[in-house]
Each structure stands twice: as C-alpha cells, then as structure tokens.
Amino acid sequence: SVTRRPLMAGNWKMNLNHLEANLLVQKLAASLTEQQLTAVETVVLPPFTDLRTVQTAVDGDKLLIGYGGQDLSPYQSGAYTGDISGAMLAKLGCTYVTVGHSERRQYHYEDDAIVNAKVAAALANGLTPILCIGEGLEIREQLRHVPHCCDQLDGALKGLTAEQVTKVVVAYEPVWAIGTGKTATPEDAQEVCGEVRKRLVETYDQGTADQVRILYGGSVKSSNVASIMSQPDVDGALVGGASLDAEEFAKICRFP
C-alpha cells in the first residue's frame, strides 16, 4: 500500500486580523513538536490581509507550518479589481490555495469551469490547489452524492495531465456538515473519498490516484478526527471553526 503524508489544513474563512493571525500561528507552532509537524503536515489558510504577517512569523522563526490563500484569480494579472493572483500568493511563500470552496460556489457563483481555471492557475504558479467538492443536503437525501462529487471532480480537473493531478489535494466537504456541528460518519467520509480515488484510477491510473491526498471537511474537531482519519482513503482534514483555536487545532494535528 501507499503512504500519503497526512495533511491538516485550517481554513480561517473571514476571521482573524493580522495581529490575531500572528498570535495564532505562534501559539500553534509552540503547541506542536518538530516531530509532530514532520509527521503531519500542518497548514493554515488565512484571509489575504494576514498572509504577509504569517509569512514573517513563519520565516522569522523557521516554523514548520505551511500557509496559503483561500482563493485565487484564474488570471495572471490585469484589470480584475479585488482579485489576487496565484503569482502574488506564491511570491508571499504560499504553498497552498483552496479552490471551489462551497462558500465560494454559493456566494460567488463559482461553477465547474471557473474552478477548473483556478486549479490550472494554482498549478501554473507552483501552488497546491486544495480542490473542494461536496454535495448539499438535498442531493444527499436523494442519494446522488457520489455522482455529484465525481462530476465536480471531473469538471475541476478537466484538461490536466496525470502528472498535474498528482499535485492536487481534493477535499470532500459535504455542505450539510460545514459549520453545522453535524459531522459525516467516518463511513460517509470513506464512501465518497473512496469513490473519488476510484474515479482518479479510471480517468488516470492507479499510480496517480495513489499519490493524491483526499481530505474530509465538515465539523472536524479533536474529538472526532481520529475516527475519520482511520479510514483508508481519508488522508487529512480541512478544518474551519476548530482551526481558529490554536490548542484545538494543535490537538487535531496530533491525532495519531
């Protein structure tokens, strides 16, 4: 079997100013040993306005914490008021960027074509896209969650080579479990993560699919992370609310 390094990514959403960001990153690093940070890749995804501060903290103290943006423009530069390019993120030392988060799909009407262009832009700038997919409650109740997620996956990865796909992280986030305190069962998480990997085998090949890390997201906390991480196709977690507390997120990163 293949070993994939576990990844815990904290999506801060629109929370914490740059002063609070600095505090959280310092506290988080202090709560984890070098050994823990080596075993489990630990990443924070702050608002854009915090990234320069996070870079300074991480660089200054050689912290073993990665960071990235929550979105990026599909374009390289130009007249796109309010947008941030992948090149700008990369220049600040970002290594990750979330793409297609359900909140962006919902509030900014991002469709599969835009998500696809953003994944390509991330890769073109050497960033690892954390591609978010997931079904809403209605689709889950109609038991259409697997085809729905596989369609989102296909749409987002359209035109990429197998080599590029190995660099993508997929995050399965059932919308009904985000910020609701309602966690999918470990079996629910495994079902979709397993089907996503199967789809990657079908579209590319086993070797490619084995390298892709698939995260679960949706009300992950220190109390439920271990059972979710015990699933064979779950390689980490995308954590919203619980990543805003340094001690709680550190506990999540210490799951093994």
The residues of the shown chain that bind ligand PEP, judged by CB under 6 A, are 11, 173, 178-179, 217-220, 238-242
Q: Is 69 annotated as belonging to a binding site?
A: no
Residue 103 or 195: the one with the smaller Cβ distance to ligand PEP is 103
Q: Where are the beta strands (DSSP E) in the chain?
A: 7-11, 41-45, 66-69, 96-99, 128-133, 169-172, 213-217, 236-239
Residue with tokens 């999918």: 184
Closest CA to 212 of 231, 191, 233: 233
Residue 170 or 204: the one with the smaller Cβ distance to ligand PEP is 170
Q: Does residue 101 have an active-site annotation?
A: yes
Q: Is 78 annotated as belonging to a binding site?
A: no
Q: Is 240 annotated as belonging to a binding site?
A: yes
State the DSSP H helix or E strand holding residue 246, giving kind and residue range, or none if neither. helix 246-253
Q: Is 198 annotated as belonging to a binding site?
A: no
Evaluate the CA torsion angle 253, 243, 191, 209 in order and state its sign: negative
Q: In the complex, what is the shortest distance from the CB of residue 188 to ligand PEP, in angstroms, rounded to a whole number?
A: 14
Q: In the complex, what is the shortest distance from the CB of residue 218 to ligand PEP, in angstroms, rounded to a whole number?
A: 5
Residue 86 or 217: the one with the smaller Cβ distance to ligand PEP is 217
Helix and strand totals (H; E) in the chain = 13, 8
Residue with tokens 């996503």: 196
Q: Does residue 173 have an active-site annotation?
A: yes
Which position's Cβ is nearest ligand PEP?
240
Task: Please give the single-letter amino acid code of residue 203.
Answer: T
Across the strands, what pairs with 130? 98, 169
Query: Considering 41, 101, 191, 195, which one is annotated as catalytic?
Result: 101
Residue 86 or 241: the one with the smaller Cβ distance to ligand PEP is 241
Separation of alpha carbons 210 and 227, rounded Å: 21
Q: In the complex, what is the shortest distance from the CB of residue 132 to ligand PEP, in angstroms, rounded to a whole number?
A: 7
Catalytic residue numbers, as ranges: 101, 173
Binding region for substrate: 11-13, 179, 219, 240-241
Binding region: 11-13, 179, 219, 240-241
